Structure 1
Amino acid sequence: MRKYMVTAILVVFAVVTIGTYYVQASQETPPNYKLTTVQGDASLVEGIAVYGNYMIKDSTFGIKRAYITTNGTDYPDEKSAISQSLNRRPMKTQLDQWIEEHRQFMRGKTNTSGFYENEEMLAYVNATVDTKRSNDSSAKRNAKLSISVLNKQKNNTLEITSDINVDHDISDMYVQNVQLIDQQLVAMVFMNHSASGFVSEPQIIRVNLTTKEIKNEPLALPGVKSVAADGDTQYAWLANQNLEHTDQWILRISRNNHRKAYQVDVKTGQISPLTFQGHEMLLNNIMNAYGQKIYFLQKAVSSKENIGFAVISYDLVSKEYETTLKNTHIDLSENITYAFKQDHLYIMGYKNFKGNRLYVFNLTSGNLEYEGKVISTEAANQAEDEANMDLNFIDLGQF
């Protein structure tokens, strides 16, 4: 009898707790926030969003996700389960634009990194790996490459598919970037080996659009592994921005916490290690490639309370370094979130960051071109509402 009494008490407690939560949640209307301009060019933040978490007032039950734009706030958790499953973002993304313009072609195509676009074509490269595994370590696994090329003028599509064999321990293949060189689509693909340890292996895939021939080129990067042994850990990143037309890829490799960088010629596949002689510590900083330059974001240019940051550029042609941006008063002592769009840096901090402010810097000139602040439109509780909002992500709609 006592056992049943304990169970009944626990059930009642759970019902009361859950009921209290839903009553509180239903009674509270979360505040409306807007991204407002403090100074600078407001066009730089048109069509973007900043994401944050709103701490529910007078509640110990948690937070609400918030998507904030210049028009107001969207709380995705308050939407229906169907709407949430669609994961609609509060701005029109590049994928949204393509879907509007080329709906039939875009069916099933979701990886922004797999696209290439110019005035004549929109191309998509995708790679998938068969989920079936073999106990034979010498056996190969099946993978499939799918290439679709839309001719914008003629509104017709070229489809190319090919089966390839990959190592038995390849679990995933991800297309990272696609370029067009002399009627060849050239894709940078990361193959992930995960049977023993984890090794991300970059490879190049070339697709001849005239002959439909496909070539797979492993990259023999000095000091980089192409197989996974027990305990190995190797991660790869591409520093180039999505959809940028370039003839040089910049690869970052972290192997067992040792970082390396490489310049890869898209046309020839020639590999040049980037040692940054005399500036080797740059490998430990955030890296972004745009045009003929690599940008490095360094936190804490002042030792006093980790105030400020700097951006150093490296010119791939002249091999020269330049401090393009140095800021000594913006507090980045908390975690930061940032995004690059061409030669602009969007940056803000996580918690209690100068009143939830967003900064946009021009990396070419080093100038601050925009400063914005997320404010509550509820005048009576403005200070409290803003204290309860922590920003944590910048969405430029590029992905």
Structure 2
Amino acid sequence: MKRYLCSIIISLVVLLSIGTYYVKVASSASSLPTYTFKTSEGSVKELDPVIVQATLEHHNIYEPLTIESDRTKYDSDRPFWSDRNDVQIERLIKKHRSFMRGRDFINSFYEDDDFLAYASVNSEYTKSGKMKAEFDIGLLEKKDEDETSFRIDVPGQERVMNTEVRDVQLIHSKLQVLTMNDVYSNDDKQTKEVHLYTIDLAKKKVVNDKTLVSETFTYPNQVDFEMPVNTSPSKPNNMILISIIKAVTDEEGVYEEKLKESKLFSYQYDTEKLSTIKGAKKESLNLDIARSGYTDGKNLYAIAFKSGKYQMKTFDISSGALTNNIQLDLAAGKEEANYVAIKNGRVYFLLRSGMGENVTYKPAHLLIADLKTGKTLYKGETVMHAAKKKNEQKTGFSVNNLEVK
């Protein structure tokens, strides 16, 4: 009897806790402002796929929020057991919930019309102090929802200190997994490598481990590998860009890049060709452009600020040639931060000033333009609707991210 009584008491405590949580949430939400977009040009329908993540500051309290479909949702309104994922991950979860369980890093996915594939690396230190690393592989055949999952050892795992999956492709029934690895070196040396692992899905084994790039260095020298932001990271992609950034850290800990010694490479999956991009020609793809660009696997899009205006240049990755140059109808100061998304044949450009020393509301400006012509499809700014008018000028608003469905 005591056991049942204990269970009942625990259940009541849990229910009361949940009830208290939602009462507090409802009370809090009613006192918080909402945000919408005020349209100055174009169609409001262009806002449908836009998701803006921001933070409200009020009386030294920070409230994360999301503006979606021109409506405001505070994180405090969400069930306390729920997580907020990348919109691309949330889309996959809705379609393939079973396959997606415990898998939430978008760079680990590949998706086409027939398959959804996944590859990640799980690692841990053994009692002997050595690293044990293995691939977690998953393949879903969409037609019949047939799932295959298995784990296999990462080749040379005893050398691996840390590994990060950066791209996954499915080519001729074999999974291509691109990783950036920190590996053990002798003495005081450090080594970083870019690996391409080929995994035979039928045989469930790694059939090739190719080192694309390897850099060994000693402190105070530093080396970092970078890749442009991928606008569609899970989609089929035949070419990638890799930047090798060399730098040095001085006695005071100041990090200084050595761009003359840094390099830009391209790798083509179907030909297995690794090429150095020199960018010698004027108005051609180079290291500086690639580092600040956005890629869809075929083109690289770079945003430039000139004479108070933003320009977007398009470069063909395979040739490095400039193929398009458009000016965006959005003026701004250099101190203003921007968030860019490229999707649906459009460039989405969100501009904001951020919060200064005095907490006041400053609107974020949104421009949506045609990717090829630069024609403005939408222009507007956020408007705050304060729950209490007297609080309107004491509320800060800071944009954190821009996502597009």
Q: Please classify the TM superposition score into its range, dividing by the shorter chain length.
A: 0.7 to 0.9
How far apart are 1:197 and its partner, in Å?
8.1
Task: Give 2:293's aligned amino acid.
Answer: M
* Deviations, residues 52-101 of structure 1 (Å, cap 9, x unaligned): 23231xx3x2433222223422222x458x62x63336xx8232232232
The CA distance in 1 between the partners of 2:195 and 2:332, in whole Å, is 40
Task: Give 2:244's aligned amino acid.
Answer: I
Matched, 1:275 2:278: yes
How far apart are 1:389 and its partner, in Å?
2.0
**Taking structure 1 as reference, are residues 198 and 66 closer, same or farther at Cα in structure 2, changes over 3 Å only?**
farther
1:80-229 paired onto structure 2 within 5 Å: 83=80, 86-88=82-84, 93-132=87-126, 141-166=131-156, 170-193=160-183, 200-221=192-213, 225=215, 227=216, 229=218
Question: Paired residue for 2:266?
Answer: 263
Question: Paired residue for 1:254?
Answer: 245
Question: Paired residue for 1:374?
Answer: 382
How far apart are 1:236 and its partner, in Å?
2.2
Deviates more, 1:167-176 or 1:235-244: 167-176
How far apart are 1:309 and its partner, in Å?
2.2
* Deviations, residues 105-149 of structure 1 (Å, cap 9, x unaligned): 2221111111111222111111122234867xxxx6321012111
How far apart are 1:204 and its partner, in Å?
0.7
The SS at the match of 1:219 is: strand
The SS at the match of 1:105 is: helix
How far apart are 1:45 and its partner, in Å?
3.0
How far apart are 1:326 and its partner, in Å?
2.3
Structure with the larger strand share? 2
**TM-score, normalization by structure 2:** 0.75
**TM-score, normalization by structure 1:** 0.76
How far apart are 1:392 and its partner, in Å?
3.2
Matched, 1:50 2:52: yes
Question: Paired residue for 2:300?
Answer: 294
**Taking structure 1 as reference, are residues 43 and 189 closer, same or farther at Cα in structure 2, changes over 3 Å only?**
farther
Task: Give 1:295's aligned amino acid.
Answer: Y
Are the aligned partners of 1:133 and 1:168 in contact in 2 as well (CA < 8 Å)?
A: no
* Deviations, residues 277-298 of structure 1 (Å, cap 9, x unaligned): 1348952241122253222222
Q: Tell me which of 236, 239, 243 is aligned to 1:245.
A: 236
**Taking structure 1 as reference, are residues 281 and 112 closer, same or farther at Cα in structure 2, changes over 3 Å only?**
closer
The CA distance in 2 between the partners of 1:291 and 1:391, in whole Å, is 28
CA RMSD of aligned residues (A): 3.4
Deviates more, 1:328-337 or 1:191-200: 191-200
The SS at the match of 2:93 is: helix
**Taking structure 1 as reference, are residues 94 and 220 closer, same or farther at Cα in structure 2, changes over 3 Å only?**
closer
Question: Paired residue for 1:9?
Answer: none
The CA distance in 1 between the partners of 2:296 and 2:116, in whole Å, is 21
Deviates more, 1:209-218 or 1:97-106: 209-218
Are the aligned partners of 2:87 and 2:403 in contact in 1 as well (CA < 8 Å)?
A: no
How far apart are 1:228 and its partner, in Å?
5.3
Matched, 1:230 2:219: yes
Question: Paired residue for 1:395?
Answer: 403
The SS at the match of 2:199 is: strand
Are the aligned partners of 2:37 and 2:381 in contact in 1 as well (CA < 8 Å)?
A: yes
Are the aligned partners of 1:35 and 1:69 in contact in 2 as well (CA < 8 Å)?
A: no
**Taking structure 1 as reference, are residues 323 and 332 closer, same or farther at Cα in structure 2, changes over 3 Å only?**
farther
Question: Paired residue for 1:12?
Answer: none
> Percent of aligned positions with the same letter in both sequences?
18
The SS at the match of 1:234 is: strand
Unaligned ranges ≥5, structure 2: 1-23, 248-256, 356-361
The SS at the match of 2:90 is: helix
Task: Give 1:231's aligned amino acid.
Answer: P
